[in-house]
């Protein structure tokens, strides 16, 4: 599984547009892309212009498909000039923790 984190710093005057676009992009991705297992959007409670997205894709190919989709290109065109910084990192998911069924360390 591939985890994709993206940190955004957006312009204050474009906050409503970018915030709505990021949330909608996450919703559309989850609805349309079977290769996307999760897509979370987080905003900094102390700075409204800071956002972190966290997405899990089944594979790098699924992520590449996402980047080539019409809805992603439309999103990217809308936010590109309204975002001051965008930093994306790719991670390999090796474990998930669940509340139930986890044993304590000895």
pLDDT tens by residue, 20-51: 999 999 999 999 999 999 999 999 999 999 99
Q: pTM to 2 decimals?
A: 0.88
Is 56 inside any structural domain? yes
> What's CA 90's distance to the chain center, in Å?
11
Number of domains, the chain: 1
In this prediction, residue 97 carries a pLDDT of: 75
Planar angle of CA 10, 90, 64, nearest 5 degrees = 90
In a domain? residue 100: no
pLDDT tier, 78 (very low <50, low <70, confident <90, very high otherwise): very high
Q: Residues 4, 72: contact at Cβ < 8 Å?
A: no
The chain-wide mean pLDDT, for the chain, equals 93
Query: Is residue 102, in this structure, part of any structural domain at all?
Result: no
For residue 43, being part of any structural domain is answered with yes
Contact indicator for 21, 73 with CB cutoff of 8 Å: no
Question: Domain for residue 67, yes or no?
Answer: yes
> Which pLDDT score, from 0 to 100, does residue 96 have?
83
Output the domain CATH number for residue 66: 3.30.70.100
Question: What's residue 103's pLDDT?
Answer: 64
Query: 21 in a domain, yes or no?
Result: yes
Domain that holds residue 63: 2-92
């Amino acid at each position: 599984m591939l985890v994709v984190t993206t940190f955004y710093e957006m312009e204050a005057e474009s906050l409503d547009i970018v915030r709505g676009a990021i949330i909608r992009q996450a919703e559309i991705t989850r609805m349309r892309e079977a290769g996307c297992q999760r897509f979370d959007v987080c905003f900094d409670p102390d700075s409204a212009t800071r956002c972190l997205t966290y997405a899990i894709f089944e594979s790098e190919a699924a992520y590449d498909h996402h980047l080539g989709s019409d809805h992603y290109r439309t999103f990217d065109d809308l936010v590109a000039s309204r975002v001051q910084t965008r930093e994306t990192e790719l991670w390999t998911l090796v474990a998930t923790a669940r509340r139930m069924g986890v044993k304590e360390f000895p």
